[in-house]
Structure 1
């Protein structure tokens, strides 16, 4: 079940990144990378 949680986190993060790049705001992109690191470190 751990693998499934990781895949879901990756998908969630990719959706967040896609939205951030579509928003095309550099602060949003920075937030997306922060979100990515926080998401994987929180485990």
Structure 2
């Protein structure tokens, strides 16, 4: 839906990655990876 599209744009603008796995009758798991910044 729209929420996922917004999340994808935010993650990509942060140079991150979003992926998912899905199983019938079990659901879907989304994984978001965003790099950290050291100060």
TM, length-normalised to structure 2: 0.43
Q: Which has the higher strand share?
A: 2
Structure ID, larger Rg:
2
